[in-house]
């Protein structure tokens, strides 16, 4: 059976599964729509949270970026996993104890201000919309290659699928769909990794294969990769860094606190019955996430080595273009892989010098193309396609729910029409979700220049606006509404200004090229790392403004004390 047929069968089956679950788990109340009724099992919620959090950026982009950045790509591993630990320890239990449906609702209640709630909604929408653009690209890329439809058609199909299970089911439908999506994406990620690790090193565990010798030789895989890349003029894979130590620190910190501030992940912890369950589900989520994240460095290194060995022949010659393998031809049709014969010899010259390099490789194809490059069975390749789609759709659904609940619950019910009926709010939620999906689809088809190539920007925006206000809302009594509002505005404004000043050079994997364009960066910090600086601005402005304005009311201080009180927290059901 050919690859296209198998892919249609595998992807079609997973889509039918998602829609069937949505019909079964249709939301009948606002509580089911926003937080799945608040009764999700902690283990199930941990699996759903892992799928919600592991987006197309984790499944498709992360290993691709690491494969070209080398050691410097560790910022993504440390930042994204470290951020989830911050979320689990510092935010999730306290927000669950507070017991509100959404992040803006917490901000509005804690800082006793509708204005603060509205500002939080705006920050949430900016960060979430930026992030969802990356998911839409992931859907388009996977569809475009494996189902052999153009990018626009693939994106529209993905929008329809998300519409069917998220508008009908809300958080309840999304939760159980994400459990199925996690199973699909983790199998799709680990099975090819096991195959390729066995093929290259003889070790079935990719995490161990990364540090093993090549099959039949005494040369270690990473030594072989260092040798190959340096012969072509690239920086040594195992020592490459991304700029200065300060830039690496800022990038990692931005990703960490941005992850902890992502509203679509935070809202998942409102779906469990008790505070104790929020902690438990966070632990399970970290376990489920670690399965993929410990495999990613191996997938990245092996994909880069496979690519290099394909275009650079063992005898030291370059691959003749007309003799290129089928996988090369397949990815050429997507526009994500290209060849320009600069010297007219009809051979693919792949070097670090942009003046002589003739191969253009989009980083997003590395995970998806790796099974084809390694000549794995067609069913494995089809499974990878289904996994990439599952990762993109699961996070897109979570983000769209966060956006729609911010509009329906925080703006319409919280500000515009507090007396709206539950039926009316549920209708408003579904309409908001439909509009959010339409907006996300438009931005996926017509991505704005400042966000077209990155989801790291979304983490920077969440880091500079949402994370600080949540931390100050939980752990300080002195920050008042004026301070919170001023801090959020200052943090996100500084970050957006810096990003727009350098919008043409976001998320370039080649650090030498990137650094040459960034001579006017502040302290050598690149745009995608600037969320950490924005967060510092948020904290500083909030503290200064709070000290210059009226003290926080006593009842709010008592509320903060109650939220932080550990005694009896495990018995809190829905406070």
What domains does the chain contain, in order, with CATH numbers? 3-304+375-445+452-571 (1.20.1730.10), 312-363 (no CATH)
Whether the CA torsion 285, 286, 287, 291 is positive or negative: it is positive
Note the pLDDT of residue 247.
86
Q: Which residues of the chain have pLDDT under 50?
A: 449-453, 504-517, 567-575
Note the pLDDT of residue 453.
46
| Cβ pair 250, 83 in contact under 8 A | no
Please give the distance of CA 311 from its chain centroid, rounded to a whole number: 31
The H-or-E segment that residue 361 falls in is: strand 359-361
CA distance 196 to 194: 6
State pTM to two decimals: 0.83
pLDDT in tens, 455-514: 667 888 899 999 999 999 999 999 999 999 999 999 999 998 888 776 544 444 444 444
Three-class SS string for 482-547?
A: HHHHHHHHHHHHHHHHHHHHCHHHCCCCCHHHHHHHCCCCHHHCCHHHCHHHHHHHHHHHHHHHHH
Note the pLDDT of residue 357.
87
Note the pLDDT of residue 315.
63
Mapping DSSP to helix (H, G, I), strand (E, B) and coil, where does residue 360 land?
Answer: strand
Using alpha carbons only, how large is the chain's radius of gyration in Å?
A: 24
| Helical residues (DSSP H) of 99-113, grouped into ranges | 103-110
């Amino acid at each position: 059976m050919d690859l296209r047929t198998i892919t249609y069968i595998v992807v079609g089956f997973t889509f039918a599964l998602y829609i069937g679950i949505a019909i079964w788990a249709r939301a009948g109340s606002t509580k089911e729509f926003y937080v799945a009724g608040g009764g999700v099992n902690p283990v199930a919620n941990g699996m759903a949270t892992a799928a919600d959090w592991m987006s197309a950026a984790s499944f498709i982009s992360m290993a691709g970026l690491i494969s070209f950045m080398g050691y410097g790509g560790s910022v993504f591993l440390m930042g994204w996993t470290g951020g989830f630990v911050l979320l689990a320890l510092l935010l999730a239990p306290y927000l669950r104890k507070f017991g509100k449906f959404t992040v803006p609702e917490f901000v509005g209640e804690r800082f006793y201000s509708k204005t603060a709630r509205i500002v939080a909604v705006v920050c949430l929408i900016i960060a979430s919309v930026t992030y969802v653009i990356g998911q839409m690209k992931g859907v388009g890329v996977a569809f475009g290659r494996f189902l052999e439809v153009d990018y626009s058609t693939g994106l529209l199909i993905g929008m329809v699928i998300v519409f069917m299970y998220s508008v009908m089911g809300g958080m309840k439908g999304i939760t159980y769909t994400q459990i199925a999506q996690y199973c699909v994406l983790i199998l799709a990620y680990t099975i090819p990794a096991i195959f390729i690790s066995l093929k290259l090193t003889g070790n079935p565990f990719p995490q161990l294969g990364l540090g093993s010798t090549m099959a039949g030789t005494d040369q270690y895989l990473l030594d072989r990769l260092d040798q190959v890349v340096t012969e072509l003029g690239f920086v040594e894979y195992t020592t490459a860094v991304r700029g200065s130590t300060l830039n690496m620190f800022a990038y990692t910190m931005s990703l960490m606190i941005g992850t902890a501030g992502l509203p679509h992940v935070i809202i998942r912890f409102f779906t469990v019955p008790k505070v104790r369950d929020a902690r438990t589900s966070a632990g399970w989520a970290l376990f489920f996430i670690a399965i993929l994240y410990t495999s990613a460095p191996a997938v990245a290194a092996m994909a880069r080595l496979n690519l290099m060995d394909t275009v650079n022949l063992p005898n030291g010659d370059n691959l003749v273009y007309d003799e290129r393998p089928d996988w090369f031809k397949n990815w050429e049709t997507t526009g994500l892989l290209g060849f320009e014969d600069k010297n007219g010899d009809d051979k693919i010259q792949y070097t670090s010098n942009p003046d002589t390099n003739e191969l253009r490789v989009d980083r997003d194809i590395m995970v998806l193309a790796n099974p084809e490059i390694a000549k794995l069975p067609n069913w494995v390749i089809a499974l990878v396609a289904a996994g990439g789609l599952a990762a993109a759709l699961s996070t897109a659904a979570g983000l769209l729910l966060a956006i729609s609940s911010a509009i329906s619950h925080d703006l319409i019910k919280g500000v515009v029409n507090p007396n709206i009926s539950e039926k009316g709010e549920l209708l408003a939620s579904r309409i908001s979700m439909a509009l959010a999906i339409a907006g996300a689809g438009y931005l996926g088809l017509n991505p704005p220049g400042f966000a077209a190539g990155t989801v790291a920007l979304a983490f920077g925006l969440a880091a500079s606006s949402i994370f600080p206000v949540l931390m100050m809302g939980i752990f300080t009594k002195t920050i008042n509404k004026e301070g919170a509002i001023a801090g959020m505005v200052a943090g996100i404004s500084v970050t957006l200004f810096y990003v727009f000043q350098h919008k043409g050079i976001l998320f370039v994997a080649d650090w030498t090229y990137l650094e040459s364009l960034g001579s006017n960066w502040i302290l050598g910090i690149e745009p995608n790392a600037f969320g950490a600086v924005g967060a510092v601005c948020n904290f500083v402005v909030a503290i200064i403004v709070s000290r210059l304005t009226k003290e926080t009311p006593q009842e709010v201080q008592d509320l903060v004390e109650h939220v932080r009180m550990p005694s009896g927290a495990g018995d809190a059901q829905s406070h």
